[in-house]
Structure 1
Amino acid sequence: MNEYDIAVVGAGPGGYVAALRAAQRGACVCLIEAGQVGGTCLNRGCIPTKALYSTALLLRRIHGAAAHGIQVDPPRFDFAKAVARKDEVVQKLVGGIEQLLRAQGVDVYRGQASLAGEGRLRIRRPEVTAHLRAKNIILATGSRSVRPQAFPVDGKNVLTSREILAIKELPASLLVIGGGYIGCEFASIFAAFGTRVTVVEQLPTLLARTDRHAVREVEKAFKEAGVSVRAATAVESLKVTDGLVRVGLSDGEELEVEKVLVAVGRVPNSAGLGLEQAGVRSDDKGAILVDEGMRTSQPGIFAIGDVTNIIQLAHVASYQAGIAVTNAMGGDAKADYRVVPSAIFTLPEIGQVGLTEEDAKEQGIAVKIGRFAYQASGKALCDGETQGLVKILAAADDDRILGASCVGEEASTLVAEAAAAMQAGMTAQALGRTIHAHPTLPEMLMEAAEDVHGLAVHKAGRRRDR
């Protein structure tokens, strides 16, 4: 029976990073994966979605080329080629990770793993069942799409995010059930491709935990793109007939669409791991319970990523991987989630970190707010991308930056500067005094930071007494 210092179950952005981190530190490591390395993020989530998003963004810009004096015949969009490009991007990245694992000497096993006693794992494959031993085990099995029993998810007409990324023909019409980040990203992408899109959300607004100013910009863009948004509305029935889906809404309206995307959340993928038999505690949703060091209730067993349901983001899983490996090798690291940036790839895209204005109000935290609009940015005007704004929240007492929201061109990139500033404990005044290259989009962060104190130069603001 093979023995390892660390065995990692699941090769997503948490698992493969954990395996590489452990190997870098000299541990004897194995990685167990039932499918392809990269997990959901690389194969059926973040990367393929963003490859299609890149195509949608380019197509939208081509449609706006006339404003730059570039005359383009109505562009012809080949969805099949866009899908093929998306698959090529995925395969290239999968191959890169496999190469890294080989270079670091990580043993990769294919199959379904489960806990099989103290320090032991069972690996089930179609032809054989194998066992191995490990001093420490890191569970990184991710999450899966929620499939409500009320909806006939058949993978053909009624789809989850996994199946919609596998379709080969562009649907004429699409109903998206769920106005969270997954649903809104797909709505933006397919609307740009020419699909007639409807988004249905039970809550009163889209993107419930996102800055309201940012959400309003997305809603405005949806309206301009012809996306119909039905908030505070539920889907009460779905029926597939003759290749179409008849949809009954809670307001009594009936729709008929070619495809339906069910995007109502994700749940931890912990079934079949043998948690209960091994004494590893989990909650009623299947999330594995861990402490700040990613330790489970059993010594020598750690859990990271979506399967813990702490924050379902790929980069958080990768961060937790480092914590778990450090502690598996005798350290005492603790996770800190105070500065976690996130990005939503709608058109326009959103970047966010720390508190939103709504969070501050709910928590009773006194803040000062600075804002700066894209339409006042020289670089945004040059690019022809004037929709959006940047917002910075600073503590009213000591001026520390507590949060930032960006919506518009490259918002997912801009938010990284705000995250770095927060991690460094910078004040709005310090960020505002930092020299930024001109003309660039990051100047908007400087201006928003200055606007916290009414000092933004390129904004009509408050005059201060001397």
Structure 2
Amino acid sequence: MTAQKFDMVVLGSGPGGYVAAIRAAQLGFKTAVVERAELGGICLNWGCIPTKALLRSAEVFHNMKHAADYGLVAGQLGFDLDKVVSRSRGIAAQLSGGIKHLMKKNKVTVIEGNGVLVKPGVLSVEKDGKKTEVHGTDIILATGARAKELPHLKADGELVWTYRHALTPKAVPGKLLVIGSGAIGIEFASFYNELGSDVTVVEMMDRVMPVEDEEISAFAAKSFKSQGIKIMTEASVTKLDKKAKSVVCTVEGKGGKSEQIEVDNVIIAIGIDGNVENIGLEQNKIKVDRGHVVTDEWGHTGVKGVHAIGDLTGPPWLAHKASHEGVILVEKIARDKGNKEIKDLHPMDKGNIPGCTYCRPQVASVGMTEKAAIAAGYKVNVGRFPFIGNGKAIAMGEAEGMMKTVFDAKTGELLGAHMVGAEVTEMIQGYTVARTLETTEIELMHTVFPHPTMSEMMHEAVLDAFGKALHF
């Protein structure tokens, strides 16, 4: 068997894998990526990007329905579901092709097939029944994750869906039940509700979007309910009985009280599991904990020359987290091998990773919630500012929303920032930069924000934390 030899081999071409490969090539490593499916991984092909394309269609449709609010006249309204889905799939295909171009541009070898770690430094890659060996001085595992399933909650692709099935529906369900109110569940609930589905969301925790700040979660829940989405918290689906064209869902709520809800389709969005199976972890004694590979702060597994990044290594399960982990890991490997150009390298601070949910209204956050900050022992100053106090938001017809900042009262450190409303997923990066630069309230107060913009609310939310708000 002829072996292909490289300095760096990445197993998986998702946002973590392909970015790690590009950075490795930039640093002079002879690099290969092994991929069993589409370049770009789940995020680009079946996750982040195609869902945003669907949600954009829903947003435009929403605006069409409210044309009269802007003094506009629209004709007969409707949508072509096949074309909505086709647009989403086309965008995913376009970007996957873009990754192929980037691999070629950076002289990264793409090897198609299913890769298994035989031993440190060696991958066995199988495609169409043929096996080849790929050798790499360093191997990065970036196999990502998949939708979590439970024995009583299994998807069949027809009546019971994961996110993958929900991306390519044959019809809009008349009634839809979504299990889980994290980012994936809420985004699909928002999309299908906009297209006319009667949507019910079931969440085990005591509130929707439970990782978000409680105030933001409550604000979002109120908005979802006003849009017609039914929300059941502190509840769980204990049974799914599939009929010919519907599913009877048994939902157990507070105090053990059960009720049955019959729907056309169910979306399971209860979390994800790392793709740890059948990639050679066991025989190489790579530690796995609760479905995810265990690494140190740099991405090293403890087995010489074998590393792991991204969703495979656990939360937060975010594409941008995976990409940055890939860069940090590759630069650490390069520095350890004597590259003196790599300076000021630090492990990732997960507290500076922003989270975004693209429902309507959007939700975005970075850093600690107010409750978490208090639990950590901080005395906090909290600022808030409503969208209704912002001229640009009102002019846009997007006056529903709020911003919230959490500061350390002693040092002025920005501990966290939380937003709900239009375009907040674009604005959160301002606070993320602030946290990365370790700015205090002084620098933020003296930052000039352009007028009229929605970003002015970010300034006001800082001012309010210290009793200096100007416009509310």
Q: TM-score range by the shorter chain?
A: over 0.9
Flag the 1:74–1:360 CA change in 2: closer, same or farther, 3 A.
farther
Q: TM-score of the superposition, structure 1-length normalised?
A: 0.96
In the aligned structure 1, how far is the partner of 2:153 from the partner of 2:265? 13
Matched, 1:319 2:324: yes
SS in 1 for 2:293: coil
Equivalent position of 2:380 in the other structure = 367
In the aligned structure 2, how far is the partner of 1:118 from the partner of 1:410? 45
SS in 2 for 1:348: coil
Give the 5 Å matches for 1:429-440: 429-440=442-453
SS in 1 for 2:7: strand
Give the 5 Å matches for 1:283-322: 283=289, 285-322=290-327
Q: How many residues align?
A: 458
Moved over 4 A (4+): none
Alpha-carbon offset, residue 328 of structure 1? 2.4
In the aligned structure 2, how far is the partner of 1:302 from the partner of 1:328? 10
Residue of structure 1 aligned with 2:393, choices 375, 380, 383: 380
Alpha-carbon offset, residue 335 of structure 1? 2.5
Flag the 1:73–1:221 CA change in 2: closer, same or farther, 3 A.
farther
| Equivalent AA in structure 2 for residue 269 of structure 1 | N
Equivalent position of 1:3 in the other structure = 5
- For the 8 Å contact 1:429–1:450, the answer to whether it is kept is no
| Equivalent AA in structure 1 for residue 266 of structure 2 | V
Equivalent position of 2:340 in the other structure = none
Equivalent position of 1:410 in the other structure = 423
SS in 1 for 2:211: coil
Runs of 5+ unmatched residues, structure 2:
337-344
- For the 8 Å contact 2:120–2:304, the answer to whether it is kept is no
Flag the 1:430–1:136 CA change in 2: closer, same or farther, 3 A.
same
Alpha-carbon offset, residue 217 of structure 1? 2.1
Give the 5 Å matches for 1:110-129: 110-129=112-131
Alpha-carbon offset, residue 360 of structure 1? 1.2
In the aligned structure 1, how far is the partner of 2:194 from the partner of 2:9? 43
Alpha-carbon offset, residue 18 of structure 1? 0.6
- For the 8 Å contact 2:120–2:303, the answer to whether it is kept is no
Residue of structure 2 aligned with 1:253, choices 255, 259, 268: 259
Give the 5 Å matches for 1:320-339: 320-331=325-336, 333-339=346-352
Q: TM-score of the superposition, structure 2-length normalised?
A: 0.95
Please report the RMSD computed on the Cα atoms of aligned residues, expressed in angstroms. 1.2
SS in 1 for 2:77: coil
* Identity rate, percent: 35
- For the 8 Å contact 1:9–1:15, the answer to whether it is kept is yes
Equivalent position of 1:347 in the other structure = 360
In the aligned structure 1, how far is the partner of 2:14 from the partner of 2:239? 35
Equivalent position of 1:464 in the other structure = none
- For the 8 Å contact 2:207–2:218, the answer to whether it is kept is no
SS in 2 for 1:290: coil
Runs of 5+ unmatched residues, structure 1:
460-466
SS in 2 for 1:14: helix
Alpha-carbon offset, residue 333 of structure 1? 4.9
Flag the 1:174–1:388 CA change in 2: closer, same or farther, 3 A.
same
Give the 5 Å matches for 1:121-200: 121-200=123-202
In the aligned structure 1, how far is the partner of 2:272 from the partner of 2:297? 23
- For the 8 Å contact 2:176–2:266, the answer to whether it is kept is yes
> In terms of mean alpha carbon deviation, does 377-386 or 356-365 score higher?
356-365
Equivalent position of 1:43 in the other structure = 45
Residue of structure 2 aligned with 1:30, choices 32, 35, 38: 32
In the aligned structure 2, how far is the partner of 1:255 from the partner of 1:392? 39
In the aligned structure 1, how far is the partner of 2:346 from the partner of 2:331? 6
